[in-house]
Structure 1
Amino acid sequence: MDSITQAALGAGICGAMLGRFHGRKAIVAGAVLATLPDLDVVIRYADPVSAMINHRGFSHSLFVLTVLSIALTAALRHWRPSPHYGAGRLFWAIWLTLITHPLLDAFTAYGTQLLWPLRPTPTAWSTLFIIDPFFTAPLTLAVIAALFAGPGERTRRAMRWTLAWCCVYLAASIAFKQVVENRVRNRLESNGVVVQAMFSTPQPFNILLWRVVARTPDGQYYESTTGILDRRPSEQLRLPLNTELARAMPPFEPLEGLRWFSGDWLRYDDIDGKLVVSDLRMGLGAGYYSFRFLFAHRASPGAPWQPRTPEFWPTRRGTSELSAVVRRVWQQTPPLPLATWAERMTQAPAGEANTQDE
Structure 2
Amino acid sequence: MDSVTQIVLGAAVGEAVLGKKVGKKAILYGAIAGTIPDLDTLVGNFFDTITAIEIHRGFSHSIVFAVLFAPIFGWIISKIESNSEATWKNWSWLMFWGLFTHPLLDAHTTWGTQLFWPFDLRLAYKNIFVIDPLYTLPFLFFLIMAMRFNRTDPKRRKYNRLGLIVSSIYLLVITPALKFYTFQKFEAALEEQNITYERMDTRPTPLNSILWTANIETDESFLIGNYSVFDTQPIDFYTVPKNYDLAADLADDPNLNRLIQISDGWYTFSEKNGDLYFNDLRFGNMDIEDPDSEFIFSYKLAEEHGELTATETEKEMTDAKNFLPRLWARILGN
TM-score normalised by L of structure 2: 0.86
Which residue identity lines up with residue 12 of structure 1 in the other structure?
A: A
8 Å contact from structure 2 (residues 243, 268) kept in 1: yes
Determine the C-alpha separation between the residues in 2 that align with 1:188 and 1:69. Answer: 48
The offset of 1:169, in angstroms, is 0.5
CA displacement, residues 57-102 of structure 1 (integer Å, 9 cap, x when unaligned): 1111122212323555577789959768995x76554322211101
2:224 aligns with: 223
Residue aligning to 2:18: 18
1:267-286 maps to which residues of 2 (within 5 A)?
A: 267-284=268-285, 285=288, 286=291
Q: Deviations over 1:8-52 (max 9, x none)?
A: 001011112211110111111100111111111221244323222
Which residue does the alignment assign to 1:127?
Answer: 127
Q: TM-score, normalised by structure 1?
A: 0.81
Confirm or deny: 8 A CA contact 1:53 1:258 kept in the other structure.
no
Q: Does 1:292 align with 2:294?
A: no
Displacement of 1:254 in angstroms is 2.5
For the aligned residues, what is the CA RMSD?
Answer: 2.6
Partner in structure 1 of residue 212 of structure 2: 210
Match of 2:195 in 1: 193
Amino acid at match of 1:296: A
Q: Match for residue 263 of structure 1? A: 264
Higher mean C-alpha deviation, range 133-142 or range 61-70: 61-70
The 1:265–1:55 alpha-carbon spacing in structure 2 relative to 1, beyond 3 Å, is same
CA contact (8 A) 1:222 1:239 kept: yes
How many residue pairs are counted as aligned between the two chains? 321
What's the CA shift for 1:232? 2.1
User: Deviation at 1:143?
Assistant: 2.3
Q: Name the amino acid aligned to 1:331.
A: G
Q: Secondary structure at the match of 2:51?
A: helix
How far 1:205 moved relative to its partner? 1.1
1:240 Cα deviation after fit: 1.0
- Tell me which amino acid in the other structure corresponds to 1:186: A
User: 1:347: which partner in 2?
Assistant: none
State the partner residue of 1:141: 141
Q: Percent identity?
A: 30
| 1:230 Cα offset (Å) | 1.9
Q: Which residue does 1:336 correspond to in 2? A: none
Question: Aligned pair in 2 of structure 1 residues 263, 330: CA closer, same or farther (>3 Å)?
Answer: same
2:154 aligned residue: 153
Distance in 2 (alpha carbons) for counterparts of 1:229 and 1:162: 28
Tell me what 1:246 maps to. Answer: 247
Distance 1:35 1:64 in 2: 14
In the TM superposition, residue 260 of structure 1 has moved relative to its aligned partner by: 1.3
* Gap change, CA 1:3 and 1:163, over 3 Å in 2: same
| 8 Å Cα contact 1:291/1:315 also seen in 2 | no
- Aligned partner of 2:128: which letter? L
> What residue identity is the alignment partner of 1:252?
D
1:177 to 176, 179, 188: 179
**Superposed displacement of residue 155, structure 1:** 2.4
Q: What's the secondary structure of 1:291's corresponding residue?
A: strand
The equivalent residue for 2:321 is 319
